Structure 1
Amino acid sequence: MEGELDDHLGYKKHKTSDSSNARNGYTQKKVKSTFGEMEIQVPRDREGSFNPMLVPKRENMIERLEEVMISMYAKGMSVSDIQEQISEIYKFDVSTSAISRITSRVAEDIVAWQNRPLESTYLIVWMDGWYCL
């Protein structure tokens, strides 16, 4: 969320800016997900115009985070790598057991897809061409 705030303000943390809007600390927020309730720190700005995409204002569910974890898992990252990335990017800790519970839901679908019966014939189209001016 720090990166989102950097983008919103137009400058990185500890840099100077001509804008009247600036960082203004953090707000504690309780959020819920399928792996339970947790407290996170959401950065804020002086004008109150910053609305993070991960956990929008007046919302307390982190559905997008679960999608990010599943995407990382699908791309071959280990559970400990996912934990480290979430900690670095979003600045809060998620246990490896929570990540395992989230990714296990899609693991069953992946195994079913891998073990599906294959068709006897597949059509392959090869196109090749040259275009000259």
Structure 2
Amino acid sequence: MTKKEQTEFEKKVLEQFMSGKNLFGEGGAFAPMLKNVIEKALEAEMDGHLDEGERAKGNKRNGKGKKTLKSGFGTFDIDTPQDRQSSFEPELVKKRQTILADNLSEKIIGLYGLGMSYRDISSHLSIYS
């Protein structure tokens, strides 16, 4: 996140907070951040899944699917990576799972609040999932 983007983000958070608007739901300042972290973590899981053995079997990326997730903070859409043989089983947001665990949302936002980057949070989540 560039300095300008961070300043704009902080301005939006403060503006929504002072007006009493929901920071996490649709249109909330934290909704895009949560979406971005989850998508990057799923990409990291896909990278781990498509190791040399999988690639040798002819498996590779095959675009993205859409999924609507519900959390305690609202509903949002994410893009989920797919592979040709449909053998990818994500751990963070499992297939057919539509409700995001509330504690996961809080952890992501907490880690971001502590200054971790999207990449750091994604790698942290992929280690523990």
Q: So what's the TM-score if we normalise by structure 2?
A: 0.50
For the residues of structure 2 that align with 1:81 and 1:8, how far apart are their CA atoms?
28
Contact 2:66-2:78 at 8 Å conserved across structures:
yes
- Give the match for residue 6 of structure 2: none
Q: Structure 2: state its 5+ residue gaps.
A: 1-41, 124-129
Q: SS where residue 45 of structure 2 aligns?
A: helix
- Describe the superposition over 1:95-122 as per-residue Cα deviations: whole angstroms up to 9, x where unpaired: xxxxxxxxxxxxxxxxxxxxxxxxxxxx
- Spell out structure 1 runs of 4+ moving beyond 4 A: none
- Give the match for residue 122 of structure 2: 89
- Give the match for residue 36 of structure 1: 74
What is the CA distance between 1:85 and its match in structure 2?
Answer: 2.3
Q: Structure 1: state its 5+ residue gaps.
A: 12-16, 91-133
Structure exhibiting the larger radius of gyration computed from Cα positions:
1
Q: So what's the TM-score if we normalise by structure 1?
A: 0.49
Contact 1:31-1:62 at 8 Å conserved across structures:
yes
Which residue identity does 1:29 align to in structure 2?
K
| Residue 56 (structure 2) pairs with residue 18 (structure 1) | yes
For the residues of structure 1 that align with 2:71 and 2:51, how far apart are their CA atoms?
31
Change (3 A) 1:78 1:42: closer
Q: SS where residue 115 of structure 2 aligns?
A: helix
Summarize the alignment of residues 1-133 of structure 1 with structure 2, pairs less than 5 Å apart: 1-10=42-51, 17-63=55-101, 65-66=104-105, 68-69=107-108, 73=110, 77=111, 79=113, 81=115, 84-85=117-118, 89=122
Q: SS where residue 70 of structure 2 aligns?
A: strand
Percent identity over the alignment is 35
Change (3 A) 1:87 1:25: farther
Would you tell me which structure has more helix in proportion to its own residues? 2
